[in-house]
Amino acid sequence: MKHLVFLLLFIPSIYSSAQSTLTLDDLNAIVSLSSPALSPNGKAGVFLATYRNYDQNSFDTELRWISIQDGKQSVLSSRDGLRDPAWTRDGQYISFLASTANGSQVFLLPINGGEAQQLTDHPQGIRKYAWSPTGKRLAFIAFDPGSKKSGSEAFNDSFEVGSDDYLQTKAPVGSSVWIFDPATRASKKLSPDNFTVATELALSGLEWSDDEQQILVTRFPSSHSGDTDLGEYYSLFLDGAAAEKIFQGKAGGGLAFFHKKGKSVLFGHRRNGAPEQVIDLYEVDLQQKEVKNLTQKLDRNIQNAFFIPDGQLLVSAPDQDRLAYWSIDETEDFTKIPFGELTGPGELSFSAAGGILFTGQTSYRPDELYFKADIRAKPELLTHFNEPIAEKKQGKREIFDWKSTDGFRPNGVITYPPDFDAKKKYPLVLFIHGGPTASSLLSFSIVPQIMAARGWIVFQPNYRGSNNLGNAFQSAIANDAAEGPGEDVMSGVQALIAKGFIDTDKIAVSGWSYGGWMTSWMIGRYPDVWAAAVAGAAPVDYTDMYSLSDLNRMRRHAITESPYVGDHLMDVYQKSPIYHFNKLKTPTLIMSKTADYRVSITGSYKLYGALRDNNVPVQFIAYPGPGHFPSDPVRSTDVYARWIGWLTEYIGRKLP
């Protein structure tokens, strides 16, 4: 009861809006911008603005129009489930998906005024859609209809388990590609039977050829989530010809599109076909079947690729401290695209008439909408949704690198208290990212800023397995899921301590998901370092992840081979946090969703039991329902309130 009383006393202080520094009130004030789409003439755009409605515990989304010339805006729609806006080829309509009684359907909204009209009415709803180049056809992905049972069999809901998570309650359903004719409102199934283009975890792309005779998709061997890494790229033909496999290899990243007027295909694929390595961009000649790696020299984990209207090929990837974009020329030389102070240029939209509309962040400003007249132009700020956040007093954020083991030089982000003085001593809080194939960049991050406002130095380390430092660093996590990354984190802590401004009696470690794995590992492997810990959705035993998670045997991060083959079981056990649970002594807050499909709550119970049995202060908070992290404003805010409250109790807080 002690911790609950403290939390109730503490929450009002961090919710106070009277402070000039960032608080949890500001978390709920942030407006998220997404899905920018530039008009065909380049003079206007549309985008989605999502607001946190704390009183109704919901996220409310608006479809907005904006003038590129003067930034004037208007709200076009605010329907439930609104997503994926796109301009029609003539620029007269905006299409989008929105919820109906029959699932998500495509709507058409006249840009010059009037109500949106429902265009499709597919019985299973629409999961994804894409207009053909001329706008005369629409391709979409929809769930397949389930089999109907009659008589007493209607009560038999048994199903065969495959590579699914432990929460699966029915057999997953396949998904197919359909072609829709807007003129006749007729739909025709394009993909053959037993050809699924989605799993419980992933959804295929839909890329039209210039002549509108083919569509590129990813075919999965089943709709089971654990088979997601077994997808293969196929071309579907509108003339009824048999589907054709693009190349002999598994899909990577779901990225594929036609090139050279349909003579070749560009696609994402794991380097050397190894699941632990970076995603590179490859080109396959459809006639000669020759395959070429276009980005090996760049040595970054490719997230996206596209052609801009002038024919340049662009790729994006995390790079050191930011999300970067490069153009590739015919000699496969790379030129980095300038984005000024923006550290996280997000979704980009191009117009044939010229110009780029995109979302972006700086180190101290959340999402806004920006425009570039061309690829080399300086970004122009179009919106000011998050101006109040940007004007708050924030701590300096900077990139920091250090020497670790095995010749690696990891990096990470430090956020200093707003009134930092290098002559003073400060508590240190580790805020470890999940993934592990992810990275902490210099983009705006409100939780570290809220923590820094408490008078703490916040360290976000990029351990081996992170995707911002190239293939060798990313793939080094294979068969070394804890010790190597842990050494990277500890050597970073030691490098910070050497700077002289860390209070070594007040160092805390925290993280969610794989960040929770690392937190659980650190408090057992290095038990004398930490004053406090917060472990969110923490996997602690690799056999649980392998057997119970929606990722299960997929080995997405190639952390290890199956623990059940050969002599791997003891090796996996020794490389899991649970192996060190008899050494625990750090006061720890544990949080988890009760029906987490990604990281089963069993790990949290194991960590709780180990701390309890070793007489270590512990609190275990569970949030009812499915999901890997609370997806609503109230519960997600509560996570961070408890997180900060626990750390405050054990490492202190800055008084107003």
Structure tokens at 367: 């999402």
DSSP E strand stretches across 39-196: 44-53, 58-67, 73-77, 83-87, 93-100, 103-110, 117-118, 128-131, 138-143, 175-181, 186-189
What does the pLDDT read at residue 475? 93
499: left (phi over 0), alpha (psi -120 to 50) or beta: alpha
Residue 5 has pLDDT above 50, yes or no: no
What does the pLDDT read at residue 84? 98
What does the pLDDT read at residue 18? 44
Task: Encode pLDDT of 55-71 as tens digits.
Answer: 999 999 999 999 999 99
Task: Encode pLDDT of 308-331 as tens digits.
Answer: 887 889 999 999 999 999 999 877
Residue 654 has pLDDT above 70, yes or no: no
pLDDT mean over 411-420 = 97
Task: Encode pLDDT of 620-639 as tens digits.
Answer: 999 999 999 999 999 999 99
Residue 11 has pLDDT above 70, yes or no: no
Identify whether the C-beta of residue 435 lies closer than 8 Å to the C-beta of residue 465: yes
Task: Encode pLDDT of 70-121 as tens digits.
Answer: 999 999 999 999 999 999 999 999 999 999 999 999 999 999 888 999 999 9
* Residues counted in the chain: 656
Opening angle at CA 32, ends 322 and 341, nearest 5: 30
What does the pLDDT read at residue 290? 92
CA distance 459 to 417: 12
Residue spans of alpha helices (H) in 355-410? 387-390
Residue 560 has pLDDT above 70, yes or no: no
Task: Encode pLDDT of 20-52 as tens digits.
Answer: 999 999 999 999 999 999 999 999 999 999 999
Structure tokens at 469: 């430092």
CA distance 312 to 317: 17
Across the chain, mean pLDDT equals: 92
pLDDT mean over 428-446 = 96
Structure tokens at 18: 């009277």
What does the pLDDT read at residue 261? 84
Task: Encode pLDDT of 253-270 as tens digits.
Answer: 678 999 888 899 999 998
**Residue 241 CA: distances (Å) to CA of 192, 226, 320, 448:** 10, 30, 46, 54
CB-based contacts of 45, cutoff 8 Å, min separation 6: 36, 37, 38, 39, 65, 66, 68, 349, 357, 369, 371
Neighbours of 318 (CB within 10 A): 24
Q: Choose the most confident range, by mean pLDDT, from 224-238, 274-288, 540-554, 635-649.
A: 635-649
Task: Determine how β-strand 426-432 pairs with β-strand 457-462.
Answer: parallel
pLDDT mean over 368-375 = 96
Which of the residue ranges 69-83, 140-154, 510-524 would you say has the lowest mean pLDDT? 140-154
This prediction has a pTM of 0.94
Identify whether the C-beta of residue 593 lies closer than 8 Å to the C-beta of residue 537: yes
pLDDT mean over 501-524 = 98
What does the pLDDT read at residue 113? 84
Q: How confident is the model at residue 427 (pLDDT cuts 50, 70, 90)?
A: very high
Give me the residue spans of the domains in the chain: 126-147+159-255, 393-651
- 2/645: higher pLDDT: 645
CA distance 35 to 234: 27
pLDDT mean over 450-470 = 97
Q: How confident is the model at residue 655 (pLDDT cuts 50, 70, 90)?
A: very low
Q: How confident is the model at residue 455 (pLDDT cuts 50, 70, 90)?
A: very high
Q: Which fold has domain 393-651?
A: Rossmann fold (3.40.50)
